[in-house]
Amino acid sequence: MATGLRIKTAAELRTNYLRREMFPTIFCDGCGIGNVLNYTLWAIDEVGLDLDRTVFVSGIGCSSRLPGYINADGLHATHGRALAFAAGIRAANPDLTVIVFTGDGDGAGIGGNHLLHTIRRNMDMTVILVNNFTYGMTGGQSAPTTPDGGFSSTTPYGNIEHPLDICELAKALGAPYVARWPVVSPAQPVKSIAEGIRKRGFALIEMLTPCPTAYGRRNGLKEIEQIWRWYREHTVLLDEWEWVEQFGSPEEREALRGKLKIGVFQDTERETFEDRWAALVARERL
């Protein structure tokens, strides 16, 4: 692999990082959330993260079950409130590493307001947002990320709302690290999750993840090979996207419609909430 990572086997990851008593998982056949867990563990191993100094936080939804499988401290919070709880942990003990698992419905829909303000404050945490275009656990309702025309239990005639681009939103709000990848290839997601953990400040890694049961079966994406082909055909690397927008023909620009940009959207430095808070306390201390 191009990253030079020494990828651990599934048996090594299971022994080192997972709670055996929690298996088998609740995930449906063809669901990509297991891939997200796998890539996260590879990244944690690459970084050499001390799990005794790490807290995993989640809200409600299929992806929010992930902290329960990891042999570390975790907090399974209320729907849409994972970032509020994670912010509290960071404020109470800035020495802890905080990693948040959330979904597109949990993190960008019900928890959208917390997403805005946690990014604005630039609290030092890594958020792995699993985007499967739907509220998978609660009935397959339309989510803020449901594609234009996508069918769901609440949009039986096709979604007419413009989908939210979570990465562009995070970039505009000044998040120091923002990336989006599909689960179809491990190298780039593992590298981005590791970079997000190392980044001081708010890091968002959006993972495009199939949901064959709630979203796929309503949108002709139920079979695994078919789903993974869809992700390959409907995602475009950022550099290629920008080249087409600037130099491409009208036909090439039109071909971008309905596709998703993937890559590292932002990698920069910004003073964190924790740094500003420490400076304030030092300045005002009597």
pLDDT in tens, 171-219: 999 999 999 999 999 999 999 999 999 999 999 999 999 999 999 999 9
In 3D space, the residue among 59, 61, 22 whose CA is nearest the CA of residue 214 turns out to be: 61
pLDDT > 50? residue 42: yes
pLDDT, position 11: 87
Looking at the predicted structure, is the pLDDT value of residue 23 above 70? yes
- Confidence class of residue 135 from pLDDT cuts 50, 70 and 90? very high
Q: In which band, very low, low, confident or very high, does the pLDDT at 6 lie, cut at 50, 70 and 90?
A: low
4 — pLDDT class (breaks 50, 70, 90): low
Q: What pLDDT score does 8 carry? A: 76
Q: What is the pLDDT of residue 2?
A: 47
pLDDT at 1: 44
pTM above 0.75, yes or no: yes
User: Cα–Cα distances in Å, from 63 out to 23, 37, 58, 107, 234?
Assistant: 15, 9, 8, 11, 22
How is the beta sheet containing 260-267 ordered, strand by strand?
Answer: 73-76, 54-58, 97-103, 125-131, 202-208, 177-182, 260-267, 235-237
Q: What pLDDT is stored for residue 285 in this prediction?
A: 79
